[in-house]
Amino acid sequence: MVNAERAIDPVSIFGALGDATRLKLVDTMSDGESRSISDLASGFGMSRQAITKHLKVLEAAGLVANDRVGRETQFRLETGAIDAARDYLDRVSRHWDEAIGRLKDFLGEG
């Protein structure tokens, strides 16, 4: 889980997810399995260095965490940040639904 002391910033989350490669990395890790940089790089046809740069952006946004396993670093998806993004979108959606409801009432369609 995401550290409760660390505030989750929707701008960072959506910014990190705004890149196709990072979005695909999140999708790949959404099965809950931890993966090494080598495993991720082979699945993407990219260098380990390129994958590492993307993982650092995801990590800074709170979407990914890593654990040291022997000599390897394993990366895993942090679902708390995904939940925070979903909550944010739900909140925005409710505001729009309420605004549309008020507009319909105003126009006599509600």
Residue 1 resides in a domain: no
Instruction: Examine the pLDDT at 1 and tell me if it is beyond 60.
Output: no
How many folded domains does the chain comprise?
Answer: 1
What pLDDT was estimated at residue 100?
Answer: 87
Structure tokens at 79: 């679902």
Instruction: With respect to residue 93, please indicate whether it lies within any of the assigned structural domains.
Output: yes
User: What predicted TM-score, i.e. pTM, was given to this entire model?
Assistant: 0.77
Instruction: Output the six-digit token pair for 15.
Output: 């910014």
- Please check whether residue 2 lies inside any domain of the structure: no
Look at 8-22, 56-70, 73-87, 93-107 and tell me which has the smallest mean pLDDT. 93-107
The mean pLDDT of 69-88, rounded to a whole number, is: 90
Closest to 73 measured CA to CA, from 52, 104, 47: 52
pLDDT at site 30? 94
CA–CA distance, 53 with 59 (Å, rounded to integer): 10
6 burial level (CB within 10 Å; 0-12, 13-18, 19+) = exposed
Is 87 domain-assigned? yes
Q: Work out the average pLDDT over 88-102.
A: 87
User: Is 5 contained in some domain?
Assistant: no
In this model, does residue 108 exceed pLDDT 70? Answer: yes
Return all residues near 68 (Cβ < 8 A) that are at least 6 apart: 74
Estimate to the nearest angstrom the gap between the alpha carbon of 85 and the chain centroid: 7
Residue 72 placed within a domain: yes
Tokens coding 74:
């394993």
Three-point CA angle 50, 56, 31, nearest 5°:
90
Instruction: Give the pLDDT band of residue 3 (cuts 50, 70, 90).
Output: very low
Give the percent of the chain with pLDDT over 90.
55
Give the residue with greater pLDDT, 95 vs 70.
Answer: 70
The boundaries of the domain holding residue 97 are 10-107
Give the CATH number for residue 56: 1.10.10.10
Q: Residue 71: inside a domain, yes or no?
A: yes
Mean pLDDT, the chain, rounded, equals: 87
Segment 10-39 mean pLDDT: 93
Specify if 99 maps to a domain.
Answer: yes
